[in-house]
Amino acid sequence: MFTKATFSFLDELTNNNNREWFETNKPRYELLVRAPALEFIEQMGPVLEKIAPHFRTDPRKVGGSLMRVYRDTRFARDRTPYKTNIGIQFRHSLCKDVHAPGFYVHIANDECFLAVGCWHPEPDARGKIRDLIVDDTDQWIAARDQKRFTRRWALSGDSLNRPPRGYDSAHLALDDLKRKDFIGVSPLTPDDVIGENLVKLTGARFAAAVPFMSFLCAALEIPY
């Protein structure tokens, strides 16, 4: 699927991030980026169905699991029109929002990684996650500290400087209550990405995150 040529194209796009260059090289984008990404998404379908049946792989060119290459520059300081990474998200069947629980794949020249969880959840969702951490701290710690999870994943994302209002500042899981993102990140190497076992590797790491994802889904009252 992905090859060294994929990374070369992303590097060229970084150095030529303008509409004229992209339109001229769009056939190469289709061949080196979009086509292998859609193939990867399609192959992840039966894998994800086994470990997370309520999450969806959607290999459509537009509106599916492959995130669009076009950047929204309306409110951005960076006015370059194209993303220089490949972003793939497998979302819950009941959630259309990028901030909802999901499995994510990021491929770029500067960094490749897998991610799981809720990135920048809305205040209501964030509150529900924090409340379940308080109500069932043991279950949260078991999911967070499971050896199979911690072997491959590290919790990441933004956090508050102070305890959130209304929560015990001496709580056992205070650092987690302060989180604004509830995500785990697992690094990939370029060799992982272009290797023939990318689907198997991704499936195994996503499987290791099942208790973590199950907890987040329970907090948001959606089935895992």
Q: What is the DSSP letter of 87?
A: E
Question: Three-class SS of residue 193?
Answer: helix
Torsion angles phi and psi, residue 70, rounded to 5: -80, 130
Question: Judging by DSSP bridges, how do beta strands 182-188 and 112-118 pair with one another?
Answer: antiparallel
pTM of the model: 0.94
Question: Over the stretch 152-169, which tens digit does the pLDDT of each residue have?
Answer: 999 999 999 999 999 999
Domain extents in the chain: 4-219
User: What angle, rounded to 10 degrees, do the helices at 210-219 and 198-208 form?
Assistant: 50
Amino acid of residue 142: A
Question: Over the stretch 74-90, which tens digit does the pLDDT of each residue have?
Answer: 777 788 999 999 999 99
Q: How many CA atoms lie within 13 A of 166 on its CB side?
A: 5
Question: Three-class SS of residue 127?
Answer: helix
Q: Which fold has domain 4-219?
A: BirA Bifunctional Protein; domain 2 (3.30.930)
Largest distance between two CA atoms of the chain: 59
Compare 78 and 122 and report the one with higher pLDDT. 122
- Would the pLDDT of 98 be above 80? no
